[in-house]
Structure 1
Amino acid sequence: MDSVTGASVTPLTEADYLAMGDGHHRVELFDRGLVVSPAPDLRHQRVVRRLANAVESVAAPVGFCVHHGVNVRLGVDRIMIPDLVVTDADNEGAILDAERVALVGEVVSPRNSGVDRVLKMQLYAIARIPWYLLVEQDGDSHSLRLHRLDGAHYVEDAVAKAGETLSVTEPFRWAMDPSDLH
């Protein structure tokens, strides 16, 4: 029984999760429970696409693949769907293992800001993903916050607000003004 909602809770395995198939919601598996979110709004999707295109233009020539909205296995019965995934893996499977991921990115939405800024940041760090990029949305402007894994936690490595440039040298060379995400 869920202590918050009073609903009956049935633990799920990764096999149960995968058997659910595709739907119109973003469904993530967190410690044998489901986290269900509505599909991102159009603005969110546009920002993710523009970010993925910008990253892919510099990451692909040095051997990385860029995806958005793919399953990433962070551990046993723990599968998240980051907005952006940069990996050295080029496979056709349904799930990408975290050890093959160089960078994940999330576009922070007002309705799930705590999940992206706290929960997912902790889960990605536990899974040892080296880089975590947050795209903050503030009205019509954006900022980029790049975090680097340092031991068991992320530390902020670089920040850029609209009109500034985020410059990255690892895991690939890249520069972007967050204004380009509009």
Structure 2
Amino acid sequence: MTAETLGYRGIPWTEEDYLALGETTDRVELFDGGLIVTPAPTPQHQHISRRLANVLNEAGELEVYEAVNVRLRAGRIPIPDLVVVDRIDPREPVVDGSAVRLIAEIVSPSNAFNGRLLKMHHYADAGIEWYLLVEPDGDAIGLRLFRLDGDHYTQHAAGGVLTLTEPVAVTIDPADLV
């Protein structure tokens, strides 16, 4: 996607402009009037995402979605790799951040800064209680679970197998994701 196909105008993008783009295979996110466009994830990334979604979905308590628009606040709509949410209307183009119980980001070499810092900050600012960071490293996968503590995240668990009791009761074994 080029600036020309995105209709570059030299003025900030609104949510209405953003949603008017319609569905696209590109990952286009809205952050405070600017668009961030990233290429499709690698097959490894997509494989990990699908496997993690399956594990989280096993709990059956909440809904799990991959790569959906999440409104953190007006004018801020990222596309996380996975979200665990209360029941929502799946026909709506945007999931409201207040319905999100956990967000998971899978770090890619090309967007490590976004997953580890930028998005983490925005998710905390929006009050999303749980943040799961998945860090592939060759054939191994690191997992770090963070819980909102005031206005920032603190690490709740890390390492190998993670057992969550909230927001869903599930055990995540990194070996099951590769």
- In 2, Cα distance between the equivalents of 1:176 and 1:29? 31
Q: Paired residue for 1:67?
A: 65
Runs of 4 or more, structure 1, over 6 Å off, are none
The reply to whether residue 155 of structure 1 matches residue 151 of structure 2 is no
Unaligned runs of 5+ in 1: 1-6
Partner of 1:44: 45
Gaps in structure 2 of 5+ consecutive residues: 1-7
Secondary structure of 2:113's aligned partner: helix
Counterpart contact for 2:83–2:100, Cα < 8 Å = yes
* 1:131-160 alpha-carbon deviations (Å, 9 max, x no partner): 000000111110111000000000000012
The yes-or-no answer on 1:172 pairing with 2:168 is yes
Superposition RMSD in Å = 1.2
Equivalent pairs: percent with the same residue? Answer: 50
- TM-score, scaled relative to structure 2: 0.92
2:125, 2:10 → 1: CA distance?
Answer: 25
Amino acid of the structure 2 residue aligned with 1:123: H
Cα distance, 1:8 vs structure 2:
6.9
Indicate the residue corresponding to 1:76 in structure 2: 74
3-state SS, counterpart of residue 172 of structure 1: coil
1:92-131 superposed matches below 5 A: 92-131=91-130
Q: Partners in 1 of 2:18 and 2:172 — Cα distance?
A: 36
* 2:107–2:136 contact (8 Å) kept in structure 1: yes
SS of 2:116's equivalent in the other structure is helix
Superposed displacement of residue 89, structure 1: 2.4
Alignment partner, residue 3 of structure 1: none
Is the partner of 2:88 in helix, strand or coil? coil
On the 8 A contact 1:160/1:177 being kept in 2, the answer is: no
